Amino acid sequence: MKPQDKERLMLDYRIGVDVGGTNTDAVLMHGRTVICALKRPTTEDVGDGLASAIAALLDSSGIAPSEVVSVMVGTTQFINAFLQRRDLSEVAVVRVSLPRSDGVPPLLAWPDDARRAIGNHVYMAKGGALFTGESYGELDVAELQKIAVDIRAKKIKSVALTSNFAPIRPDVEQKAADIIRSYLTDDAEITLSSDVGGIGLIDRENAAVINASLRGFSRQVIQSMERAFASLGLCASLYISQNDGTLITTATASALPVLTCSAGPTNSIRGAAFLTGLDTALVVDVGGTTTDIGALIGGFPRETSHQNEIGGVRTNFRMPDVLSIPIGGGSLVERTADGVRVGPCSVGYRIREESLVFGGSTLTATDLAVRRYGLDIGDPQRVAHLDEPFVQQAMDRVRRDVEQAIDRMRTNGAALPVILVGGGSVLLPDSLEGASKVVRPPHAGVANAIGAAIAQVSGRTDRLYDFNKLGREAALAQAKLHAITEAVGAGADPKTVEIVDLVELPMTHMSTGAVRVRARAVGTLLGMSTDIDG
């Protein structure tokens, strides 16, 4: 074998990991081949579970740590922390917008428990810009200095800074941040709303505040991952999956953890596309507690076109269009006056202790599937006593609920292929109403980890352009170039970058020629073989 061929093979070894609330799934891949796949229980310290999973992969495959060039990790740890109101930092919320945009103060619509978890530290300051990019007020340096002194006195280490139309004029936030930062301690961190959200002020501000509340915790989680790498002797680059199915560096994830909030469902959708070769389908990911249904369009998850809520807080950062229903392998099954109920409660990660087939005393959806389909899971004899009519009724209920969810995710009446992934996909039959066909790919149980392993790098822009001044073609060219530059800056090989999404949204309520342009560019990670694209 030629030296360059050997080097090429080594470059293709990569590991994908998905750290869920119940299990940590991991795969070792070489080119398009899955060398090894496994599940391990998620641990309280993410690094411990990560180290255990990766060590097992390397041991099973015989691959040396030095042969792995990159590890891609998707995690729900950050979003779960916000949903559960735990491990959150106190946040100073600074809005630079006066004398405008004071009708709806920051945090007004937040749930009380979320507001309490981050404190209620709200500041308003002068300055801002119009949609045209023109300033309508200069920054008041003395005012911002006074705010910064108060933040420091309260010992707050995380700041969320927002201004009007910041995606068009990010320099307003940047200048305000420079003033505030000079009065804070060295370990204080500032989140700029222009880095996380779209045009709308309130929703973008909310996204910035959520991000600021998670920065301290995200740093701890990523440091734990990096310690796990060091303990295994890995010199591979570590990347984190973000909401659109592409990768960001650990430095970016530490600063912008909100970008990873929906990485789990997104990775499952991307993994399903890779495993089946389908680029248009519905993906049904059945976990231990919930079933997530997402749409696959052009090989990537369909993004939601409306505002989304995270833990009761409305935001406008990019998220996949995913519908979740409370049915999973650990769902509790109960007899009721109306027949049977499956979910919404679940034994979750305790399924191996509580489910009947594993020696427990709790009837779960997994027990029903073992009885109904004769699956080789646990001890099937422990569910042999369940009467067939009851089992059939319960499984029909599961199927109907999933079929209704599938119908809600379709944009028209046409039937689409349905890809079943996730460890709980054994609950569903091989035919579903609304599906042109049902596909169960190999390695379906770890599709999320595969999605992480094959992820690419992206760049995007979301700005208003004046078509009357620039002209349509020139404006679109600027948007494309900005997205491509962002992708290359994030680590994409320039030779592989292409525009995969370009949307024009005329601002018809404005008298000028303002048009909102969203562009997204995607490319293969620099140094990685291009034959991994899904």
Higher-confidence position of 210 and 134: 210
Across 301-313, average pLDDT = 77
DSSP string for residues in 459-518: EEEEEEEEHHHH-HHHHHHHHHHHHHHHHHHTTB-GGG-EEEEEEEEE-TTSSS-EEEEE
pLDDT classification of 181: cutoffs 50, 70, 90: very high
Centroid of chain to Cα 165: 25
408 and 490 part of one domain: no
DSSP string for residues in 424-459: GGGGS-S--TTEEEEE--TTGGGHHHHHHHT-EEEE
Within a domain: 375: yes
412 and 482 part of one domain: no
300 and 425 part of one domain: yes
What pLDDT, on the 0 to 100 scale, is given for residue 509?
53
Within a domain: 321: yes
Within a domain: 528: yes
Give yes or no for residue 507 having a pLDDT over 70.
Answer: no
Give yes or no for residue 138 having a pLDDT over 90.
Answer: no
Helices in 237-327 by DSSP H: which ranges?
250-255, 263-276
What average pLDDT is seen over the chain? 85
- How many domains are there within the chain? 3
Q: What is the 3-state secondary structure (H, E, C) of 31-45?
A: CCEEEEEEEEECCCC
The residue from 405, 440, 475 where one domain ends is 440
405 and 519 part of one domain: no
Q: For 101-124, what is each residue's pLDDT tens digit?
A: 777 889 998 999 999 999 989 999
Across 26-40, average pLDDT = 88
Within a domain: 74: no
Give yes or no for residue 299 having a pLDDT over 90.
Answer: no
The residue range of the domain holding 180 is: 91-214
Please tell me the number of Cα atoms within 13 Å of 426 on its side-chain side: 21
Residues 247, 240: contact at Cβ < 8 Å? yes
What pLDDT, on the 0 to 100 scale, is given for residue 21?
67
106 and 144 part of one domain: yes
Within a domain: 259: no
d(C-alpha 169, C-alpha 128), whole Å: 9
Within a domain: 292: yes
CATH of the domain at 371: 3.30.420
320 and 433 part of one domain: yes
415 and 473 part of one domain: no
d(C-alpha 58, C-alpha 87), whole Å: 32
502 and 427 part of one domain: no
Give yes or no for residue 54 having a pLDDT over 80.
Answer: yes
In the chain, the percentage of residues whose pLDDT exceeds 70 is 93
What pLDDT, on the 0 to 100 scale, is given for residue 7?
44
pLDDT classification of 235: cutoffs 50, 70, 90: confident
Within a domain: 210: yes
CATH of the domain at 159: 3.40.50
Give yes or no for residue 4 having a pLDDT over 80.
Answer: no
485 and 394 part of one domain: no
Phi, psi of 315 (to 5 degrees): -135, 175
**Least confident piece of the model among 57-61, 67-71, 138-142, 459-463:** 459-463
428 and 521 part of one domain: no
What pLDDT, on the 0 to 100 scale, is given for residue 459?
82
What pLDDT, on the 0 to 100 scale, is given for residue 301?
82
pLDDT classification of 10: cutoffs 50, 70, 90: very low
Give yes or no for residue 530 having a pLDDT over 50.
Answer: no
Within a domain: 135: yes
Give yes or no for residue 415 having a pLDDT over 50.
Answer: yes
